[in-house]
Chain A
Amino acid sequence: MGLEHALGDSIITTKIDAAINWCRKNSVWPMPLGISCCGIEMMALVDPRFDVSRFGSEVMRFSPRQCDLLIVAGTTTYKMAKVVRKIYDQMPDPKWVIAMGVCTSTGGMYRTYSVVQGIDQFVPVDVYVAGCPPRPDNLLHAIMMIQEKIARGESRSTPMTVAEERKDRQLVQLTV
């Protein structure tokens, strides 16, 4: 980021990107948004049996400001959609999203007026996990897929442009 401003797209910055992405993918900090039964399977992911710390993702942070992976685990109602979006907006870029379980991905068995038929209607989703609820192994696989995405340097969140970032920094300096 700051380096690119100084050096442009040179061999140094591209290699640094690869190194940063390697670091990033091995310490993905999830934001656990367990809003129904999938949350229980997500908790099992951290226990010694499935042990997500093998992949560096055991640090579940309950503040979105410290996370880069949002795991939406559970039925998302229209009322909850605003909260999910707010949490997503509070996470710093770059960020990734897992839609865990069929309710989150498509509405699932809740084909009804109160449930959003897929959270991709208001949040960009990177990996969908099938199952009702999915087994922890399944979620583990999703995290591995996110790692592959990070290694390739892909993110569906739209990071700020250089101009936007400069403006944002100026605003921060003004407000601080």
Chain B
Amino acid sequence: MNTAVVDKLKAAFPAGILAAKEFRGETTIEVKKEEIVKVCAFLRDDPSCAFDYLSDLCGADAYTPEKRFEVIYNVQSLSRRERLRLKVFTEESDLHVPSVTSIWPGAEWPEREAFDMFGIIFDGNKDLRRMYMPEEFEYFPLRKDFPLMGIPDSIPLPRK
């Protein structure tokens, strides 16, 4: 466990850090949804953290009644050669998650991808459009309740 960083975060955000656990040497911190932008800003700007690079951001669907969707942030400190994982949970009834594009501008496209595949709405992302699927597509294909072969006739084919 990356205890130094976890302790620092817990001291700075007593209500914002919900859990921290370690699996095979990788630290994962569960963050309260409302606090995620502040936590990320702290992680980037604090000199002893210096997580200056967001290596990936993705969504996931656990298909459970509570905490159905999660957003996973894999951040990296290039100067300190360290990695950290943050998680934010969100419900099916409330799909809004604050965007971290103000902290790492590179989050824009991964957030678009998560929106395209899961329908998670990132408040503050200026260009939240469809990425892989056609603009007029109405469903979110990586959700667990989306059928593998898609919805028939949901994407029109050209006339023969």
Chain A positions near chain B (C-beta within 8 angstroms):
78-79, 81-82, 85-86, 111-114, 116, 121-124
Contact = CB atoms under 8 A, between A and B. Distances in A.
A78 B149 contact: no
A74 B134 CA distance: 20
Given A112-B148, A113-B148, A78 B155 contact: yes
Contacts of B160: 121-124
Contacts of A113: 141, 146-151
A114 B141 contact: yes
A121 B155 CA distance: 13
A82 B158 CA distance: 6
A130 B140 CA distance: 32
Contacts of A122: 157-160
Contacts of A82: 158
Contacts of A86: 158
B23 interface: no
Given A79-B133, A116-B157, 17 more contacts: A78-B155, A78-B157, A81-B157, A82-B158, A85-B158, A86-B158, A112-B148, A112-B149, A112-B150, A113-B141, A113-B146, A113-B151, A114-B132, A114-B150, A122-B157, A122-B158, A122-B159
A81 to B, nearest CB: 5
Contacts, number: 38
Which 6 residue pairs across A and B have the least CB separation, nearest first? A113-B150, A85-B158, A78-B155, A122-B157, A122-B158, A81-B157
B134 A78 contact: yes
B143 to A, nearest CB: 11
Q: Is the interface of B mostly helix, strand, loop or mixed?
A: loop
A123 B157 CA distance: 10
Contacts of B133: 79, 114
A82 B160 CA distance: 11
Contacts of A79: 132-134, 155
A5 B23 CA distance: 80
B29 to A, nearest CB: 34
Contacts of B151: 113
Nearest to A120: B160
Interface in B128-157: 132-134, 141, 146-151, 155, 157
Contact of A111 (B132, B149, B157, B159): B149
A6 to B, nearest CB: 34
A118 B150 CA distance: 15
Nearest to B160: A122
Looking at B146, B147, B150, the one whose CB has the most chain A CB atoms below 10 A away is: B150
Contacts of B159: 85, 122
B142 to A, nearest CB: 10
21 contacts: A78-B134, A78-B155, A78-B157, A79-B132, A79-B134, A79-B155, A81-B157, A85-B158, A85-B159, A86-B158, A111-B148, A111-B149, A112-B150, A113-B148, A113-B149, A113-B151, A114-B141, A114-B150, A121-B160, A122-B158, A124-B160
B138 to A, nearest CB: 13
